[in-house]
Homo-oligomer: A and B are copies of this chain.
């Protein structure tokens, strides 16, 4: 008995990184509205004029012809399509306002829409960084380690893309290694890239194997999502149109997110950038509804601005925060799920990284984003996936999800008996009311250090990034892959081997 207790204690101590349990979240608070009703309508109208008067370039001939057959109007002598506002509103109305994505572990399913809010990992960084090895181009090893870390952090609910580009494996078959890694090292929702049809088709095959289902069931119970960043201004290129088409044909949602960087790919005003964002997003989402009416899809906002002096992109700025909230208002106007991000431009996991991320997170959470991409690990405007930042972001996400838990006000929590018992000048440490809540009263942090200065100094005076470094290494050390039927693993390996033997991706 004593031995059992000791073992239990040890199990708790060895590698015992404290974190909140896996949960799904809803935002109970009203969104912050940075636009009044009239401003929102002016933005809408400006976007409609962009779609009706200027049009959007569809570089893929087949996609353009398909859209023309479904009501878009080709602009003679160009690759542009004009969209009548009535057509756009009619198409957009077919999209569901909420949908659920099905993970291979059903406990990790996520719903996007309404006041549901989900936080994902960094995606698509070319470089990776940690305090031990510094900043370097990503490899498959880094890719897999970042996935292990995501899987170890309950706060990071889905994988937003490749956390880092595994640049040491060949491009034509890279997606096969990447998909195999994400399916076997995590049990969460993941994201294939809309870079042509073939990568999407391979992802569809692999998720069907992983879930042990067919494509009809996948269509009814979508699993995958894919981000499409239009080539702002006013353009959708061939690979993204073909990838998007393949996703839509299989009933899998695309998140149409224009990269409207104000002062560069968009006007040097947030109003202009939002008008452009809205036009491009609605054009892409309308096209999805032409392909597969009722297909789930997401309105993505990513409007930020450049530093006008240098042209460097800036993130987590006050402009960014307001744009994130305005984007939510636009998405809600069209009854579409909304995507925002946790961004920063910092080069180190320091105060700037944290305050820019917080400005982004508050923009996303109070803008009522349903899908928060780059939720954990994003640095340098997306050029780096940082192991330490991922842990710090998990802490900030935990803070936001706890913030979203409504206060409980009842006789028990008000504790008037305790206040009476303790009396003037007394102390609540020892009161029965306190002792009953000792373990669970308050949020216990992941990386924050609340010790007094002297204790902290004597323990090595580690800053937040250094403490995060200890935590991610502990989590990777303790990592156990989520259960997977060996037969499924075998089937996945066979699929990857066959597709590699075929040479992987051949074209678009």
Q: Which of A366, A402, A416 has the most chain B CB atoms closer than 10 A to its own CB? A: A416
Question: CA A29 – CA B263 in complex, angstroms?
Answer: 26
Q: Given the known inter-chain contacts A233-B426, A234-B424, A319-B442, please indicate yes or no for A269 contacting B348, CB distance below 8 A.
A: no
In the bound complex, do residue A351 and residue B392 qualify as a contact, i.e. CB atoms below 8 Å apart? yes
Question: CA A415 – CA B260 in complex, angstroms?
Answer: 14
| Chain B: minimal CB distance from A361 (Å) | 9
In the bound complex, do residue B349 and residue A407 qualify as a contact, i.e. CB atoms below 8 Å apart? no
**Cβ-defined partner of A276 (8 Å) among B57, B326, B409, B419:** B419
Residues of A383-441 whose CB lies within 8 A of B: 383-384, 392, 395-396, 399-400, 402-403, 405-410, 413-416, 418-420, 422-429, 431, 433-434, 437-439, 441
In the bound complex, do residue B271 and residue A407 qualify as a contact, i.e. CB atoms below 8 Å apart? yes
In the assembled complex, which residues on chain B have CB atoms less than 8 Å from the CB atom of A414? 42-43, 46, 267, 269, 271-272, 275
In the bound complex, do residue B419 and residue A275 qualify as a contact, i.e. CB atoms below 8 Å apart? yes
In the bound complex, do residue B464 and residue A352 qualify as a contact, i.e. CB atoms below 8 Å apart? yes
Question: CA A321 – CA B444 in complex, angstroms?
Answer: 15
Residue A270 is within 8 A (CB to CB) of chain B in the complex: yes
Interface size (A, Cβ < 8 Å)? 124
In the assembled complex, which residues on chain B have CB atoms less than 8 Å from the CB atom of A228? none
In the bound complex, do residue B264 and residue A428 qualify as a contact, i.e. CB atoms below 8 Å apart? yes
**Cβ-defined partner of A434 (8 Å) among B32, B268, B319, B457:** B268
In the assembled complex, which residues on chain B have CB atoms less than 8 Å from the CB atom of A319? 402, 442-443
Question: CA A437 – CA B321 in complex, angstroms?
Answer: 20
Residue A461 is within 8 A (CB to CB) of chain B in the complex: yes
In the assembled complex, which residues on chain B have CB atoms less than 8 Å from the CB atom of A268? 415, 428, 431, 433-434, 437-438, 441-442
Question: CA A193 – CA B79 in complex, angstroms?
Answer: 71
In the assembled complex, which residues on chain B have CB atoms less than 8 Å from the CB atom of A383? 452-453
Residue A54 is within 8 A (CB to CB) of chain B in the complex: yes
**Cβ-defined partner of A317 (8 Å) among B53, B439, B443:** B443
Question: CA A317 – CA B356 in complex, angstroms?
Answer: 18
Residue A311 is within 8 A (CB to CB) of chain B in the complex: yes
Q: Given the known inter-chain contacts A263-B429, A424-B80, A442-B263, please indicate yes or no for A270 contacting B407, CB distance below 8 A.
A: yes
Question: CA A173 – CA B457 in complex, angstroms?
Answer: 34
Interface mask (A441-456 → B, CB under 8 Å = 1, otherwise 0): 1111101111111001
Residue A256 is within 8 A (CB to CB) of chain B in the complex: no
Question: CA A272 – CA B413 in complex, angstroms?
Answer: 6
| Chain B: minimal CB distance from A33 (Å) | 7
Residue A90 is within 8 A (CB to CB) of chain B in the complex: no
In the bound complex, do residue A461 and residue B419 qualify as a contact, i.e. CB atoms below 8 Å apart? no
Residues of A333-374 whose CB lies within 8 A of B: 345-359, 362, 366
A-B pairs, top 4 by smallest CB distance, nearest first, are A318-B402, A358-B358, A272-B415, A354-B354
> Residues of A at under 8 Å CB distance from B?
29-30, 32-35, 39, 42-43, 46, 49-50, 53-54, 56-57, 79-80, 135, 231, 233-235, 262-272, 275-276, 305-314, 317-319, 321-322, 326, 345-359, 362, 366, 380, 383-384, 392, 395-396, 399-400, 402-403, 405-410, 413-416, 418-420, 422-429, 431, 433-434, 437-439, 441-445, 447-453, 456-457, 461, 463-465
